[in-house]
Amino acid sequence: SAVISQKPSRDICQRGTSLTIQCQVDSQVTMMFWYRQQPGQSLTLIATANQGSEATYESGFVIDKFPISRPNLTFSTLTVSNMSPEDSSIYLCSVEDTGSYGYTFGSGTRLTVV
Partner 1 sequence: AQTVTQSQPEMSVQEAETVTLSCTYDTSESDYYLFWYKQPPSRQMILVIRQEAYKQQNATENRFSVNFQKAAKSFSLKISDSQLGDAAMYFCAYRTFGGYQKVTFGTGTKLQVIP
Of the candidates 47, 49, 20, the one whose C-alpha atom is nearest the C-alpha of residue 36 is 47
CB of 89 to partner 1, least distance (A): 11
- Decide: is 34 part of the binding site for partner 1 (CB under 8 A): no
Q: Region of 34 please: left (phi>0), alpha (psi -120 to 50) or beta.
A: beta
What does R_g of the chain's alpha carbons equal in angstroms?
13
From the list 42, 52, 85, 86, which residue makes contact with partner 1 (rule: CB under 8 A)?
42
CB of 23 to partner 1, least distance (A): 13
x/- site string to partner 1, residues 61 to 100, per CB under 8 A?
-----------------------------x-x-x-xx--x
CB of 16 to partner 1, least distance (A): 26
Of the candidates 87, 91, 95, the one whose C-alpha atom is nearest the C-alpha of residue 70 is 95
